[in-house]
Structure 1
């Protein structure tokens, strides 16, 4: 977990499976990994979007003569979707194991947790947590099976969580629990794979706001108080987040953030998560909590002032939809 100067995740000639690959971060990651020489399997629900994303990845291939591309339409929110998906992927990969699995599929529908049916939290848990957990369970059982080969070069399992798993923000109540659960699963699995002889590396990416179609959709229901607290926060492009994440993966990092305040949140909440650099992360874990002496009271003060001005949260959702439609 210290500093490494060699590429810890070379992808040239390797096969990478990416969920949520039809748009946003997943689409950018597919293209950028293709540029580095990877064979890519793109997974999402929409076959038409996947065809477009795959054509883009193909056009970016480092070696079009040797690299291969495939897409599979699948709904990650459905129970037991992963085993048949992996079976198809392995068959396409000449019956060889997939080298890297990157779980990116997800969605956010911000709102007050109290103001929406509990089913909304369940549906976001199905997509954001279980969608990743199911394929992680299936692929790790293949990679770590008793008869699976033990080779020097590792397989890589990559989760995509959110900075909201490090610092929650009002208005993301139906979404944050799933991303927090994903962090807990990853922190457990990074230890668990050490019990197996096979070489498997687990990673977690914690993006901040990404300017993607998903971000536009989430703004339709985002409460005004949430927009107020996020005002001024940078919105990164999918390409920027993908390149930052891949850079962290190539450095062998476990805990990968791509925005400045992602680093701040990381150093505030590392807890039992493995450190990328034991010295730097430990020093910053001691220093950053001092900031919250000033920041947290300010956040709570802003929320209370917003309440006095705008009234009961039951009215926020209709207002958010109205504002979005008029903008």
Structure 2
């Protein structure tokens, strides 16, 4: 009969060996001299990532809709260049169809002799929070367009090109901590972020056949222009539930993502709360670089998140009367009968 102490020793040894292997095997990804393609690169985390990669010596192409913002973004990238040979470009496309995503990518390849980007970062996205009962068919479809499909179309265009040109590159998705869980008010946003995780999980395995690395980043709140915009439609209750959140700047988020790529993580998280959600909702996802840390955070999360969820649910239930008054004032509910 194997003793509990023996089992503990075997498990601990295995974890330590695996952790050591993950820490010391393989070379860290170096963006210097590589063509990096970033959707949503004109503001927020996308722009911060473009500037960071420029400072690392990469050739960077950014894509977004707003031409004026793109011009300002490109000027910041130019100020960050480290060599005169770096190719820095911006392109105005909506990316909301496969055809548009394909055209944008093809145009970005032209200054590089038609060569495929070696790293594609899918940062484009938008949240418009609100109560589910008030959403329309149009707003629900738009929610998926502004999250899942913006990422999926560019991922499809990039992967087809990488496979055709035998480019052993990276495709990096950006989800959200709301891709692990969700909260009141995010009915048109969280489904798309969960769908992005499902796509990344599928492609991580499928693209092993092509030597294409897939990563997905789950940031917490990012204090960006997009965050300020989404706060305009956020229900007051959601603002209250989020008032204790500790967010990060776009620059901190970009650095967190970059460090995750340096570690070789598939699921990239860079804050305590996102680490806790990752380790308690990982399913069959590979461990991160520090397995012992993942096991510890998973244990903490299995206890702490129970109490966190109870507290949030209690606040929501306590808001019933005020919410009913709000729905009556907006016409969703009829006035109470006298």
The question of a shared fold, defined as TM-score above 0.5 by the shorter chain, is answered with: yes
Alpha-carbon displacement from aligned partner over 1:176-221 (angstroms, at most 9, x marks no partner): 0000000000011001011x2x321100011111111111110011
Q: Distance in 2 between matches of 1:124 and 1:312?
A: 26
CA distance 1:255–1:53, change in 2 (3 Å): same
Report if aligned partners of 1:7, 1:251 keep a CA contact under 8 Å in 2. no
1:81 corresponding residue in structure 2? 100
Q: 2:277 aligns with which of 259, 265, 272?
A: 265
Which residue of the partner structure matches residue 226 of structure 1? 238
Aligned to 2:166: 149
The 1:119–1:290 alpha-carbon spacing in structure 2 relative to 1, beyond 3 Å, is same
In the alignment, the residues of structure 1 paired with residue 94 and residue 60 of structure 2 have an alpha-carbon distance, to the nearest angstrom, of: 18
What is the match of residue 288 of structure 1? 301
Distance in 1 between residues matched to 2:54 and 2:286, nearest whole Å:
29
Quote the residue 1:45 is aligned against: 65
Larger Rg computed on CA atoms: 2
CA distance, structure 2, for counterparts of residue 306 and residue 96 of structure 1:
56
Pairing 1:220-259 to 2, within 5 Å after superposition = 220-259=232-271
Matched, 1:15 2:35: yes
- Which residue of 2 is the match for residue 129 of structure 1? 148
Call closer, same or farther: CA 1:280–1:135 in 2, change over 3 Å: same
Task: Tell me, yes or no, if the aligned pair for 1:4 and 1:252 is still in contact at 8 Å.
Answer: no
Partner Cα distance (1:172, 1:317) in 2: 19
Question: 1:30 and 1:78, CA in 2 relative to 1: closer, same or farther beyond 3 A?
Answer: same
Please report the TM-score for the alignment, with normalisation by the length of structure 2.
0.86
What TM-score do you get using the length of structure 1 for normalisation?
Answer: 0.89
* Structure 1 spans left out of the alignment, 5+ residues: 319-327
The alignment status of 1:98 with 2:111, answered yes or no, reads no
Shift of residue 293, structure 1, vs aligned partner = 2.9
Taking the aligned partners of 2:41 and 2:98, their CA distance within structure 1 comes to 20
The residue that corresponds to 2:172 in the other structure is 158
The Cα of 1:287 is off from its aligned counterpart by: 4.0
Aligned to 2:187: 173
- Counterpart position of 2:15: none
Structure 1 segments (4+ residues) deviating >4 Å: 315-318
Note closer, same or farther for the CA distance 1:189–1:236 as it changes in structure 2 (3 Å cut): same
Query: RMSD between aligned alpha carbons?
Result: 2.0
- Count of matched residue positions in the alignment of Structure 1 and Structure 2: 310
Instruction: Give 5+ residue unaligned stretches, structure 2.
Output: 1-17, 332-338
103-112 or 275-284, larger mean C-alpha shift = 275-284
The alignment status of 1:27 with 2:47, answered yes or no, reads: yes
Q: 1:102 to 1:241 in 2, by over 3 A?
A: same
Q: Helix, strand or coil: the match of 2:140?
A: helix
Counterpart CA distance in 1 for 2:286 and 2:178 is 19
Structure with bigger RCO (C-alpha 8 Å, 6+ apart) = 1
Deviations 1:51-96 (A, max 9, x none): 1101101111121x11111111100223421221121122221121
Cα distance in 1 for partners of 2:57, 2:196 equals: 29
Contact 1:54-1:69 at 8 Å conserved across structures: yes
Partner Cα separation in structure 1 for residue 116 and residue 31 of structure 2: 14
* Secondary structure class of the residue paired with 1:158: strand
Quote the residue 1:322 is aligned against. Answer: none
Q: Secondary structure at the match of 2:171?
A: strand
Residue 9 of structure 1 aligns to a residue in which SS?
coil
DSSP-derived class of the 1:171 partner: coil
Q: 1:110 to 1:80 in 2, by over 3 A?
A: same
Distance 1:315 1:99, change over 3 A: farther
- Give me the whole-angstrom Cα distance separating, in 2, the residues matched to 1:10 and 1:216: 33
Deviation track 1:114-170 (CA, whole Å, cap 9, x = no partner) reads 21113212112112111111111111112123xx337xxx41100000101112011
